[in-house]
Structure 1
Amino acid sequence: MKTNKLSRRRAIQVAASSIAIPYFVPKTVLGSPTRAGANDRVRIGLIGLGARCRSLAQDSLAIPDVEVAAVCDCFAPRVDSILNDLGKDQSWTGYTDFRKMIENEDLDGVMVETTTHARAWVACHAMAMGMDAYIEKPMALTIAEGRHMVNIARKFNRVTQIGTQQRSIPLNNWASDLVQDGAIGKINVVMAPNFVGPVEWTPKPGQPLPAGGDEGWWDVWTNQAEMRPYHAELQYGWNRWASYDRGGRCFGVTGWGTHSYDQIQRGLGTSETGPAEIVLDEPVRVEDCGKFDPRKSTDDETGAQYYNMAKNVVGPRGKVTMRYANGTELRLHLDGDWGPGLGCIFIGEKGKIEINRDKVAANPRRLVTGSDNPGHLTVSENTPHIRNWIDCIKTRERCNADIEYGQRSSSLCYLVNIARAVGRVGEPLKWDPTTERFTNCDEGNALLSRTRRAGYELPT
């Protein structure tokens, strides 16, 4: 790490600790109630400039003590596009190599918004180079890859935030605490969706590379995956295919499932562990994710706003049940046209609480109508999550969605995929959440990692 990075980070920590500042420091450095001073601002770089990154960039620009300094994407036209659009009034510098960006810019952290199959490689290198990291979900492509990311973060003492933003929504945390504090007694069952899995890519004739890319950019984009001829469906539809994501679409196992399963972990208080066994309840079938019969949804259906988004999502599905060591049963059975698409339902001895994104319901209803209910967000759902990451960069505390929590939530997604791939209907697969291995399924253990293409190994 460069000396100027160390001194800058120290300055931010001092500013956060409210140490007295000499009277002669210029106002441009000190800032004001509405404008952060230079020593208070956290300088970040953006990596992977797709639609998700643009959304985060816009929300970051609205936070006074965040300074977006540089942007990067291996495909040069995307760099030009964001510079000419969001960056037209900003002094951003554009790069096609994130390592050069980190070497050249005086950054405190990076937002890693790449494709899923490249995410671990980029994030691990960035953290090893001294960057705190906001990492999009799912944070990894396999369980082993995710564990490597956690180890890198801990080795280099990095502040990490995974993009499961429900962890920073006050209403979600308030309702999760109700569940943990026993408002509905011991939790017997948790209900969550039966999400759609990934699809294998069918080889197709290659297409000409699009204009504007630097030499070798398709090799960098392909990253750890098998090198295939360029095709626009790969570049722009990558989250559908198993080589690049593991169900990243709407109502997909990693697309929406990471949010839903992270809500389960938060509510159960199991953020640093996982289930003890996984059972595939039925044969896997390729089907629509719901019936979508015309009907009027009720006020208690927290996922109603997401039903149309899930409509016509077709792919491999199979109900899965997981069990935790304390006996709580997690049933991943719900369809896309009913229930909490991005959340779950906790069923206890004394009632039930349903938690979705910034919306809750309960039976009895009084459980969630008390005066201590924090109410709904008045800002973007990204804003409190980014805010928490920035604050923790200054204090060096763990973020709401620390990388260990992200690893455990992502693991639930991959355990679903593995149970379906192994295909042992009705047979419990015993899972050790400490070693993160199956104790009775070698086929499952073989799917915990995968071979990476030469040149894209993770740093050690």
Structure 2
Amino acid sequence: MTQSRLSRRQSLQLASATIAAPYFVRPSVLGAADTPAPSDRVKVGLIGLGARCRDIARSALRIPEIQITAVSDCFKPRIDDMIAKEGKGQKWTGYEDFREMIEKEKLDAVMVETTTHARAWVACHAMSMGVDAYIEKPMSLTISEGRHMVNIARKYNCVTQVGTQQRSIPLNNWASDLVQNGAIGKIKTVLAPNFVGPVIWTPQAAQPMPKGGSDNWWDIWTNQAEMRGYHANLQYGWNRWRDYDSGGRCFGVTGWGTHSYDQIQRGLGTSETGPEEIVLDEPVRDENCGKFDPRKATDDETGAQYYHMARNVIGPRAKVTMRYASGTQLNLHLDGDRGPGLGCIFIGENGKIEINRDKVAANPKTLVTGPENPGKLKVGENEPHIQNWVDCIKSRQRCNADIEYGQRSSSLCYLVNIAREVGRVGETLKWDPAMERFTNCDEANILLSRPRRDGYELPS
């Protein structure tokens, strides 16, 4: 099976190199006039068919080099609905077991759009079967399982792309390079939001199981988490609860926070490392994520279009400060109606640059108003990211949001949550980014992983 995958990879790489060579072959000779030949298309399966997967599927269908052949979800009604609504005109086959799908369809790659608590289990099994993977963010539920995912990807030579699309937006990368290349001098401080954390599930009476699922679908859906009776708030609101995500909502730590923190890592040039100190600045309180007082946003605020989305997001919050080996201080202090909700503000010796999703601002303004500015995207924000993944599947190069980069950005989210959970206000927690462990807090190290239910261990 693995040898078959490797042979398929080699043929895709060869086809890509051939098309790029000086000898030109008309597309109509290879296939349809606007579609690559079947041998040059990447056969992809979709796993986890919720709302996010539907967005991703629509974007993927606009990439000529992708051929979606199958979809998978542990709850069969979602398979039927996905094929009926998103698969019109497509010849998709549905599977309740993603491993059966990978084997029978002889896939090259999968797009893992499952719940966060099942994501590592699915992605690791898929990669160990020899397929490349596009993995939704946050890529893991804990720091330790994220590291396991990186190790699996490297062992099986998988091309991976984590769903932090800003890494493939030209404007974001251009502005990040300005920061890295010293346009505002040495970076003293980075400002980013004080995102809302996850909520603890309160025990509730089980609800009747919805019709259409197999006998064990709820067990599979529950995955590594504690087995509970079925409840619609879990199936459809899972990203709010700690056992299934770590703040996956709008203006949540792993929801918007993964994007913001990934922008920080990209701008600082720390994509393969992290901070060395974490300080909880105040006690954790349940509160609204912003003040939301009536005012007109200034021209320097890139996040104004997102402010209304953060309104009435209530949950545990507390300001956190981190420090990098370079001396740069990261202040996670901003409210939901201030600043860049999906980005950050870099403050240097000679000015500042604010980077949000496909939008930038600076002081002095001339830093970002010159002709070198690539301008805004002319396509959907997912498409360049998926295209980069496909290109790298063929070239076997690292993607813009390689799994190692995703691990480091996700880790910032979990460091915030761990500092809040430990609750040592004003104390410095020492973090070793190479070992990915705290050197002065055993209590915090316990929170780097979680117990897994029998049957849902990660493959070794």
What's the TM-score bracket when you normalise by the shorter of the two chains?
A: over 0.9
1:414 correspondence with 2:414: yes
1:55 counterpart residue number: 55
d(CA) in 2 for partners of 1:369 and 1:52? 34
- Aligned partner of 2:30 in structure 1 is 30
C-alpha distance after superposition, 1:325-351 (max 9, x if no partner): 110000000000010000000000000
Q: Which residue of 1 aligns with 2:208?
A: 208
Question: Deviation of residue 19 (structure 1)?
Answer: 6.5
Alpha-carbon displacement from aligned partner over 1:261-292 (angstroms, at most 9, x marks no partner):
00000000000000000000001000000010
Instruction: Write out per-residue CA displacement over residues 375-399 of structure 1, whole angstroms, 9 at most, x where no aligned residue.
Output: 0000000000000000000000000
1:34-75 Cα distance to aligned partner (Å, 9 max, x none): 221112111100000001000010011111111001000000
| 1:88, distance to aligned residue in structure 2 (A) | 2.3
Aligned letter for 2:337? D
Q: 1:33 to 1:428 in 2, by over 3 A?
A: farther
Residue matched to 1:362: 362
Return closer, same or farther for 1:346/1:39 CA change in 2, 3 Å cut-off: same
Amino acid in structure 1 at the alignment position of 2:181: D
1:287 lines up with 2:277 in the alignment: no
Which amino acid is 1:295 matched to? R
Secondary structure of 1:89's aligned partner: coil
Residue ranges of structure 1 left out of the alignment (5+ in a row): none
**Are residues 26 and 289 of structure 1, via their aligned partners in 2, closer, same or farther at CA, if it must alter by over 3 Å?**
closer
Partners of 1:271 and 1:29 in 2: CA distance: 42
Describe how 1:386-425 pairs up with structure 2 within 5 A: 386-425=386-425
Match of 1:259 in 2: 259
Look up the equivalent residue of 2:363 and give its one-letter code. Answer: N
Counterpart of 1:173 in structure 2 is: 173
Partner of 1:198: 198
- The match for 1:377 is 377
How do 1:225-374 residues align onto structure 2 when only pairs under 5 Å count? 225-374=225-374
Structure-1 separation of matches of 2:29 and 2:435: 48
Distance in 1 of aligned mates of 2:207 and 2:130: 38
Cα distance between partner residues in 2 of 1:310 and 1:27? 46
Structure 2 residue ranges without an equivalent (≥5): none
Q: Work out the CA distance in 2 between the residues paired with 1:389 and 1:299.
A: 34
1:105 aligned partner, one-letter code? E
Q: TM-score, normalised by structure 2?
A: 0.98
Task: Supply the distance in 1 between the matched residues of 2:9 and 2:192 (Cα, whole angstroms).
Answer: 41
Deviation at 1:149, TM superposition (A): 0.3
Offset at 1:18? 2.0
Name the aligned partner's letter for residue 454 of structure 1: D
Q: Distance in 2 between matches of 1:410 and 1:257?
A: 9
Residue 32 of structure 1 deviates from its aligned partner by 6.0
User: Does residue 1:17 correspond to 2:8, yes or no?
Assistant: no
Q: Scaled by the length of structure 1, what TM-score is found?
A: 0.98
- Alignment-derived partner of residue 104 in structure 2: 104
CA distance in 2, matches of 1:341, 1:152: 32
SS in 1 for 2:18: coil
Percent identical residues = 76
The one-letter amino acid paired with 2:454 is A
- Displacement after TM superposition at 1:89 (Å): 0.9
Partner of 1:222: 222
Q: Any idea what SS the aligned residue of 1:17 has?
A: helix
8 Å CA contact 2:5, 2:131 repeated in 1: no
- Report the secondary structure of 1:81's partner residue: helix
Q: Distance in 2 between matches of 1:56 and 1:19?
A: 27
**2:31 counterpart letter in structure 1:** G
Describe how 1:157-168 pairs up with structure 2 within 5 A. Answer: 157-168=157-168
Contact preservation (8 Å) 1:29, 1:39:
no
CA distance in 2, matches of 1:347, 1:27: 49
Q: Show CA shifts across 1:269-323 (max 9, x none).
A: 0000000000000010000000101111122210001000000000000000000
> RMSD in angstroms over aligned alpha carbons?
1.5
Q: Is the contact made by 1:226 and 1:453 (CA closer than 8 Å) also made in structure 2?
A: yes
Q: Residues 343-374 of structure 1, C-alpha deviation per residue, up to 9 Å, x if partnerless?
A: 00000000000000000000000000111100
Say if 1:208 and 1:161 are closer, same or farther in 2 by CA, change over 3 A. Answer: same
How far has the Cα of 1:30 moved from its partner? 1.4
Give 1:291's aligned amino acid.
K
CA shift in 2, pair 1:34/1:456, >3 Å:
same
Q: Is the contact between residue 193 and residue 336 of structure 1 (CA under 8 Å) also seen in structure 2?
A: yes
Judge conservation of contact 1:278–1:419 (CA < 8 Å) in 2. Answer: yes
Deviation at 1:31, TM superposition (A): 3.2
- Partners of 1:29 and 1:38 within 8 A in 2: no
AA partner of residue 242 (structure 1): R
**Matched positions, count:** 458
Return the offset for 1:5.
3.2
Shift of 1:8: 2.5
Q: 1:111·1:135 contact (CA, 8 Å) conserved in 2?
A: yes
Deviation at 1:2, TM superposition (A): 5.2
Alignment partners' CA distance in 1, 2:6 and 2:405:
27
> In structure 1, what is the Cα distance between the partners aligned to 2:135 and 2:424?
34
Are the equivalent residues in 1 in contact too, given 2:2–2:129 (CA < 8 A)?
Answer: no
Q: Matches of 2:382 and 2:353 in 1, distance apart?
A: 24
SS of residue matched to 1:182? coil
Question: What SS is found at the alignment partner of 2:40?
Answer: coil
2:143/2:407 contact within 8 Å kept = yes
SS of 1:347's partner is: strand
Partners of 1:271 and 1:2 in 2: how far apart? Answer: 30
Structure 1 residues 356-365 or 25-34, which shifts more? 25-34
Q: Is the 8 A contact 1:56 1:382 kept in 2?
A: yes
